[in-house]
Amino acid sequence: MSSSAASNQESFDQVSFADNPEPRCACLLLVDTSISMEGLKIAQLNAGLQTFRDELMSDDLAVKRVETAVVRFSPVEIVQPFTHPAQMNVAPLPADGSGTPMGKAIQTGIGLLQERRELYKQLGIPYYRPWLILLTDGEPTDDVRRAAAAIRAGEEKKQFAFFAIGVDTADMDLLARISVREPLRLKGHRFREFFLWLSNSMKTVSRSVPGDRLALPPPSGWAEL
Amino acid sequence: MTWSVARASVAGTAHQRKGGSCQDACQGGAWQRPDGEWVLALFAADGAGSANAAQAAAELACRHLCEQAQAWATNEAAPHAPLTPERLREWVEGLRERLLTQAADNNQSPRDLACTLLGVVCTASAVGYLQIGDGAIVARRAEVNGVVYWPDVGEYANETFFVTDADSLERLRVSVYTSLPQGLALVTDGLQRLALDYGTYQPHPGFFAPLFARLQAVSTEDIPAFEHELHGLLDSKAVNERTDDDKTLVLALWGG
């Protein structure tokens, strides 16, 4: 009996698992770094990004699956191309931009997402529906009509989910016109709570399996509802 | 009867955490046809995570298909009725209607009874396969292994197709072959990324070869102990680190 148990153990030890790439969950942040964000706001946003990374790092699946990119405006600049939480550079962003070229930033972000999707397809990596998140405290200084049309088309084809978050004096009516989903206004400067919610949402998405109806955490901790 | 069959179905850690039960189901049967020939049938179904009656649906699906297989195999009036893709398709059509009727009777939507399907029916002269959605059937012939149908998924990693979908009968894949496998395995999607190689579209030999070798060495009376071990393997740390979904494995070997 004991010898057969030992041999059983031995043969099960030989079972190995296929080494497949983990499915990826892309999260793209479009962050307003115009001069109006200067001071406490940008400091809290920077701390929030750090929290976001730390939270993802603490989750077994999210750390392998979530890929984050950051585009700031202005100037429109890819400050972080898509990467794993461990490689995410969270050096503080300066709030020194003149103008709020939101339209250009959104189009840059959608372009980055499309490139990423092509790469996943090419490499045969499974992926979840990517998220595109806009954080702004102002109103656009460029034409957002093309960006708005691209968001509508992308949402319709389920290519990504777009979320607009307004801070302070953000033009919520404009955000409502460009976003298919209702934009949310940040309660005070609760960037930390927002990024905690975002990391929890990413954890939920990155472990979802076919047939799941996503139960995202409620945004009540950070949004004015 | 010379097939040996072992199966294990384990709730994923995500369901265990929430105190839920396993929404995978599997059922098999072996029957003697009027002419003495043996028929083996194996079915597995994965109930959709957010479907209210997922577990019941997956169990009903396996039970229904087993009943159909048994009725066909043991039908004295048509002792030589052949195994055809049309016949397998009819069984799934019947199952779909039964699920939809049950949903209507219980004031549920078809979505509440959503589940995927995997099935194999093997006689002495033919083998039939059927599948809707993800998961996989692996057929083993001599040293060569193959995945019968690659898991059918949507664009995103959390999308697949269910028996209760409006277009499920178009999604249904069925085939009947006359070249018989020596071994069969069914895996639901909780295991598919561990058991299949997505680079080569082949079963991962390191997963199946040791399991088939062990099953080969197990005598009929030791099958329950082997299934207990399989259960342990599916609930092991090494597996749970890679998946938190429900997982089901059915193994069958032709003893010759």
Distance from the Cα of B198 to chain A's closest Cα (Å) equals: 6
> What is the per-residue pLDDT across B118-148, written as a single tens digit (0 to 9) for each?
999 999 999 999 999 999 999 998 644 799 9
Beta-strand relationship, B117-122 and B127-132: antiparallel
Whether the link from the prior residue into A75 is cis, omega within 30° of 0, is: yes
Distance from the Cα of B206 to chain A's closest Cα (Å) equals: 5
**B contacts of A208 (beta carbons < 8 Å):** 49, 157-158
Three-state secondary structure call for residue B171: helix
Q: What is the distance between the alpha carbons of residues A27 and A88, in angstroms, rounded to a whole number?
A: 12
- Does the distance separating the beta carbons of A20 and B134 come in below 8 Å? no
> Is residue B252 less than 8 Å (CB to CB) from chain A?
no
- Does the distance separating the beta carbons of A210 and B159 come in below 8 Å? yes
Distance from the Cα of B229 to chain A's closest Cα (Å) equals: 8
Residue A7 pLDDT level (bands cut at 50, 70, 90) = very low
Chain A contact probe: residue of B156, B188, B223, B243 with most A CBs at under 10 A: B156
Surface-to-core class of residue A178, CB atoms within 10 Å of its CB (0-12 exposed, 13-18 middle, 19+ buried):
buried
Give the residue ranges of DSSP H helices in chain A.
2-13, 40-57, 62-65, 102-123, 145-156, 172-178, 191-206
**B contacts of A18 (beta carbons < 8 Å):** 193-198, 204, 206-207
pLDDT of res. A8: 47
For the cut 90, the answer to whether the pLDDT of residue A1 exceeds it is no
Domain B3-254: top CATH class: alpha beta
**A contacts of B150 (beta carbons < 8 Å):** none
> What is the per-residue pLDDT across A52-64, written as a single tens digit (0 to 9) for each?
999 999 998 899 9
Instruction: Out of A8, A14, A16, name the one closest to residue B229 (CB).
Output: A8
Kindly report the backbone phi and psi dihedral angles of residue A16, in degrees, each rounded to the nearest multiple of 5, phi listed first.
-120, 165
Q: What is the distance between the alpha carbons of residues A224 and A221, in angstroms, rounded to a whole number?
A: 9
Contact A217, A201 (CB under 8 A): yes
Kindly report the backbone phi and psi dihedral angles of residue B239, in degrees, each rounded to the nearest multiple of 5, phi listed first.
-75, -45
Instruction: Out of A12, A158, A210, name the one closest to residue B229 (CB).
Output: A12
- Does the distance separating the beta carbons of B239 and A210 come in below 8 Å? no
Q: What is the distance between the alpha carbons of residues A128 and B159, in angstroms, rounded to a whole number?
A: 9
Residues 140-169 of A with CB under 8 A from B: 158
Instruction: Output the pTM of the full model.
Output: 0.84
Beta-carbon count within 10 A of A120 CB: 19
Instruction: Out of B49, B238, B239, name the one closest to residue A211 (CB).
Output: B49
Task: Spell out the domain ranges in chain B.
Answer: 3-254
B147: tokens are 């995945």
Q: Which residue of B has its CA nearest to A24?
A: B157
**A contacts of B229 (beta carbons < 8 Å):** 8, 12
pLDDT of res. B142: 60
**A contacts of B197 (beta carbons < 8 Å):** 18, 20
> Is residue B212 less than 8 Å (CB to CB) from chain A?
no
State the average pLDDT over residues A29-40: 95
Instruction: Out of B51, B190, B207, name the one closest to residue A15 (CB).
Output: B207
Residue A72: name the closest of A92, A48, A52 by CA: A92
Distance from the Cα of B67 to chain A's closest Cα (Å) equals: 26
Residue A74 pLDDT level (bands cut at 50, 70, 90) = confident
> Is residue A120 less than 8 Å (CB to CB) from chain B?
no
pLDDT of res. A4: 45
> Is residue B134 less than 8 Å (CB to CB) from chain A?
yes
- Does the distance separating the beta carbons of B207 and A210 come in below 8 Å? no
> Is residue B151 less than 8 Å (CB to CB) from chain A?
no
- Does the distance separating the beta carbons of B238 and A17 come in below 8 Å? yes
- Does the distance separating the beta carbons of A209 and B190 come in below 8 Å? yes
pLDDT of res. A11: 57
Instruction: Out of A14, A17, A212, name the one closest to residue B158 (CB).
Output: A212
pLDDT of res. A3: 40
> What is the per-residue pLDDT across A201-217, written as a single tens digit (0 to 9) for each?
998 898 887 777 777 88
Q: What is the distance between the alpha carbons of residues B30 and B33, in angstroms, rounded to a whole number?
A: 10
Please give the distance of CA A47 from its chain centroid, rounded to a whole number: 16
Domain formed by A21-71+79-131+138-158+183-207, architecture: 3-Layer(aba) Sandwich (3.40)
pLDDT < 50 stretches in chain B: 143-144
Task: Spell out the domain ranges in chain A.
Answer: 21-71+79-131+138-158+183-207
Task: Say how many CB pairs under 8 Å bridge A and B.
Answer: 98
Query: Mean pLDDT in chain A?
Result: 90
Sheet of strand A161-166: strand arrangement = A77-83, A66-73, A25-32, A131-136, A161-166, A184-186, A223-224
State the average pLDDT over residues A214-221: 85
Distance from the Cα of A38 to chain B's closest Cα (Å) equals: 39
**B contacts of A212 (beta carbons < 8 Å):** 48-50, 158
